[in-house]
Amino acid sequence: MATTFGGATVLVVIASVMMGASVAYPGWNDNSGYAWPPRQDNHPTEVPPKKVIVGGSENWHFGFDYAAWAYKSGPFYVNDTLVFKYDPPSNNNTHPHSVYMFRSFWSYMRCDLKRATMVANVSDGAGDGFEFTLSQKWQFYFFACGESGGLHCSTGKMRFSVVSLPRPWKWHG
Ligand SMILES: *[C@@H]1O[C@H](CO)[C@@H](O)[C@H](O)[C@H]1NC(C)=O
Ligand SMILES: *[C@@H]1O[C@H](CO)[C@@H](O)[C@H](O)[C@H]1NC(C)=O
Ligand SMILES: *[C@@H]1O[C@H](CO)[C@@H](O)[C@H](O)[C@H]1NC(C)=O
Ligand SMILES: [Cu+2]
């Protein structure tokens, strides 16, 4: 290709780069959502909200990296629901958990629970878990466990943040 470097060769290269880019685009030409451009006879509907168990099969416990989990599990959209699952206090469970929400990034960074609000107490995560819906669009949410004076938040890595993006649309005929 390089030996006869002319206009045609350049066009072929550009065309293959463009095709590569379009093939690599997720959802291109199928019905899995995010398709662009939409077909003319299509009409869009919002992708329905999802329920996500915080930590997946790990649930909500000391020592799991929830910031990494949130990063891998995103993006999150407005009206998606986070489910916190943790055992209530009992003879077997003398170190229960809870869910707090910080008011700012800085209190989140410092695990400053004095600037946080409890949204679920030590019992609320039992059974099917505590459900928290991301009801505001473009909102940063800062969550942590509030137990042991902030130790679960800092050393225990029981903290993460999510931002609630506008809901995506799905195109289908
Ligand atoms: C979120 O849910 C509420 C209540 O069901 C609804 O009124 C609102 O339109 C929804 N927002 C979006 C962006 O889907
Ligand atoms: C607590 O531990 C006892 C004995 O190890 C066990 O029989 C019981 O099922 C446990 N209870 C719960 C709620 O896990
Ligand atoms: C936790 O909150 C629930 C209501 O959501 C309440 O019924 C329960 O008594 C509270 N438990 C504790 C230990 O504060
Ligand atoms: Cu905890």
pLDDT single digits (tens) 121-166: 999 999 999 999 999 999 999 999 999 999 999 999 999 999 999 9
Nearest to 1 by CA among 18, 15, 21, 19: 15
3-state secondary structure of 141: strand
Q: For 96-118, what is each residue's pLDDT tens digit?
A: 999 999 999 999 999 999 999 99
Domains with residue ranges and CATH for the chain: 7-39 (no CATH), 46-171 (2.60.40.420)
Within 8 A by CB and 6+ apart from 43, the residues are 171, 172
Shortest-distance atom of ligand 1 to CA 135: 1
Q: For 48-70, what is each residue's pLDDT tens digit?
A: 999 999 999 999 999 999 999 99
Q: Which amino acid residue places its CA nearest to atom 3 of ligand 3? A: 124
Establish whether residue 90 lines the binding site of ligand 2, counting it when its CB lies within 6 angstroms of any ligand atom: yes
Closest ligand to Cα 150: 4
Shortest-distance atom of ligand 2 to CA 92: 1
- Is the whole model's pTM more than 0.85, yes or no? no
Kindly give the distance from the C-alpha atom of residue 112 to the centroid of ligand 3, in angstroms, as a whole number.
23
Rounded-to-integer distance, Cα 134 and Cα 173, Å: 30
Q: Which tokens belong to 106?
A: 């800085």
Residue 144, number of CB atoms within 10 A of its CB: 28
Give the H/E segment covering residue 161. strand 159-165
Q: For 6-45, what is each residue's pLDDT tens digit?
A: 444 333 333 443 333 333 344 444 455 555 665 555 678 8
